Structures are given as structure tokens and as C-alpha cells.
Structure 1
Amino acid sequence: MSGRARPEPGFSPERLAFFTDAIFAIAMTLLAVELERPNDRELASAHALGNFLVDQRGSYLAFALAFILLWSVWRRHHKLMDRIGELSKAFTAWHAPLLLLVAFLPFPTALIGASISNPLAQTLFAGTMAAMVFCEAVIKEIASSTGLVTGDPAKTHRHAGSSWAVGLWFVLSAGVAWLFSDAFVLWFVAPLAATYGGALLSRLRTSPAGHLDPHDGDAPRT
């Protein structure tokens, strides 16, 4: 890559990666800032503090869940950016909605922390996560289809399928939330949607009309 021309201003992969890292770090920190602090009365005794902590258990669950989800999205983006040799306008532009949703996530997280069984709160959180992961999928599709990634673009294409599957899983959970108050438990098994749903989508996309793609056997087993 030493012979690659210097990127034009505004299209440096390193600067985009650094800025994205900063937004994720701020959003993950704000998740903790949103947690309610005990007042003087609740700090007066161990019993009062214990009652406060029990009452806030939904907030702690929401914080842990959102932190893990943001971490997983950031980690996947980190791996992608390590394979990006150059940027395109579309690849860069799609980071705007992605980072907007990342920065917004602390708000629906606070809502489900206050009332995790509320269907509208669950819908807002799941919708935000679905939109975020869909943006991630589009970014991967652009990277794999326009030659921005180094190495095998088919690998990034398969990873995009996993992101689409996770996004659809969150959309499904948003609908289920209006039928069952505990629909949020579906979020904890989103990795299964990435593994199995992503593999299914990749197979469907590479095998039109039910015929196996000659390279399908090269895909790693999940």
C-alpha cells in the first residue's frame, strides 16, 4: 500500500476511524451519566441505599445491555476500518446516520431503564438499534461492492448479511413488545441472529433460484 496516492482532503480512513471511536466513547460514557444518583435520604442508611439500588435494577440492566450492544457495533466497525484502504463519498456519508443513532441511544436506554416493560420504550430502543445496525450493514455493503476493503471483499459481504439479520431481529422484537411485555429478552440473543440469520441471508443472496454458488463452499462454517 506504500504506492497508494495520498487521500484527498476529507477522505482519510484514519480520521474517520478516530472520529467514530470518539462518538462511540462519548455515547458509552453517557449511558452511565443517565443513571440516577441516590439523594441524601437514600444515602442515610444501608437499608435505604439497598432499597434504592433494588428500585434502579432496571436502569442497571438497560445500561449493561446498551453498553454491550454499542461495544459490539464499535468492535465490528473497528475491524472493518482496519481493512479499509480508502474512502468513498457514500461510505463516508453513511457514517452520519450511524453516528447520529449511536449518540441518540442513551436516551431510549434511559427510557427502558425507567420502565423496561413499556412497549413504546422497548419499540424506541429496538428501533434505534435496528436503524443503527442497518446503517452498519449498508456501510459494509458499500465497502465490499466498491473495492474499499483490502483482502477478500466476500468476507465483508457476509458480515453485512449478519448485520442485516441483527437489524431484522430488533425490528421483530419491536413488534413483539406490543404483545408481550418481556420482549426485551430477545435482545440478549441477538448474537444468534447474527450467526444463523446472517448465514441464511448470505446463502440466499449467493444462491439465487436455489442454485448453490460455486464459491459457497469457501465460506467458513458458523
Structure 2
Amino acid sequence: MSGTVRPEPGFSPERLAFFTDAIFAIAMTLLAVELDRPDEQELASARALGSFLVDQRDSYLAFALAFILLWSVWRRHHKLMDRIDRLSNAFTGWHAPFLLLVAFLPFPTAVIGASATNPMADTLFAGTMAAMVCCEAVIREISARTGLTTGDPAEARHQADGSWAVGLWFILSGVAAWLIPYAFVLWFFAPLASPYGGALISRLRTPHRDPHDVNAPRP
């Protein structure tokens, strides 16, 4: 008889990881499905097709942007799940709003593709991304505080801080969309907010330690 401990029904990390991967794959595929296709008139000549492709440039830019962002979120989640050896109700439950927002993202992507300079369209996209990565941050916080991850819990908390930083970046850029045109260009740099902004948040969250106090918590 095998000595392997099986997880309780409904608490298999592998099944949750597979399901999450499927949602991301479908969402990333739907980004391309939302792109307009040329009709017969636009396919009649190279000039007509070229004009169509130029007219759709904002849609292609929005597609590339959303794909890169979803890839970065999926990659971070993939790394997290590789360190999870068990689940909890809170960890599993927070995947519901997280994946809901992942599945919803193709819609605001299509909206900004049709009207990239509309501040309301930009706010819709930025708000969706901000909510998504904040859910990701909560999931990481839960994994760190409840000991679901293998390895150093401090590393999991640092990763959560990176997610909070990305969420803040989208909130600020959503506000900037009402002040400057093409604020969505800032979103291409959102993945950089994770290592740099996360390090700043981690430093702010770490209590000050007196070097002469041997009982003070170490960072």
C-alpha cells in the first residue's frame, strides 16, 4: 500500500493548476477571435487589404498588449502553483474572481482596440487588469500566511508585493488615461512594476529593526 498522502476531494493542486491553465489558454485565444476579419471587398486588392490592416492597427496593438499581460500573469501563477503542495478554502475560493477577470479580459481588449484614445475604454481595461492582479496578490498572500507553499514564506510574500505593485500601476494609469492620450502605452511596462515596485512595497511593509535590539524581528 502506497504511503503517499492523497489530498481531500476538491483540494488537488494539480487539478486547480490544470483548470487555471485552461482558462488562460481560452482567454488568450479569444483575444485573436475578437479581431475583425476583412470582407470580400477588402480582400479584392492589395491596396484595399493594406488599408484595412492599417485601420485595424489599434486592435492589433491591444491584442499584443493583452497577450503579453496575460502571459506574465499566467507565468507568475504557474511558478506559484509549482510551489503549492496543498490547498485551502480561501486559496481555492479566490481563484473564482481571479479567473472570472481573466476570462473577461478579451472584452475590454476589444473595446480599447476599437477606441484606444477613449478614456472610459482605457479605464475599463485598466480596472479589469488592476482587479485581476489584486486577486493574484490576495492568492499569494494566502499562500504565504497559511504555509501552503514550499520553501521560504518570505519569498511568497515578496511575490505578493510585486502583484500589489502591478495592480497599483494599472490604477494610476487608469487615472492618467483621463489626463493624457494613449496612456495605455504605460501598460506595456506593467510587468516591470512587479520587481521594482514590489521591492519598494516589501521595504515599506518590513518593520523598522533596531540593530541593537536582538529581539526585534529580522526582515
Give the shorter-chain TM-score range: over 0.9
Q: Which runs of 5+ in 2 are unaligned?
A: none
> CA shift at 1:191, angstroms?
2.4
Deviations 1:137-175 (A, max 9, x none): 000000000000001111010000000000000000111
How far is 1:3 from its partner?
A: 5.6
CA distance in 1, matches of 2:130, 2:54: 30
Structure 1 gap segments, 5+ residues each: 217-222
Give the conservation status (yes or no) of the 8 Å contact 2:98–2:135: yes
Q: Does 1:55 align with 2:36?
A: no
Bigger shift: residues 12-21 or 175-184: 175-184
Residue 130 (str. 1) matches residue 130 (str. 2):
yes
Please give the TM-score of this superposition, normalised by the length of structure 2: 0.94
Aligned residue pairs total: 214
Aligned to 1:76: 76
Over 3 Å counting, the alpha-carbon distance change for 1:211 and 1:76 in structure 2 is farther
Structure 2 contact 72–191 (Cα < 8 Å) conserved: no
Cα distance change on mapping 1:154 and 1:43 into 2, 3 Å = same
Q: CA deviation at 1:197?
A: 1.0
TM-score, normalised by the number of residues in structure 1: 0.93
Q: Equivalents in 1 of 2:210, 2:125: separation in Å?
A: 38
1:192 Cα deviation (Å)? 2.6
Give the alignment's Cα RMSD to 1 decimal. 1.5
Q: 1:109 corresponds to which residue?
A: 109
Q: Give the drift of 1:183.
A: 1.0
Q: Deviations over 1:110-158 (max 9, x none)?
A: 0000011100000000000000000000000000000000011110100
CA distance in 2, matches of 1:190, 1:143: 23
Q: Please name the residue that 1:30 is paired with.
A: 30
For residues 211 and 20 of structure 1, do their structure 2 counterparts lie closer, same or farther at Cα, with a shift above 3 Å needed?
farther
Alpha-carbon shift at residue 4 of structure 1 (Å): 5.8
Name the amino acid aligned to 2:11: F
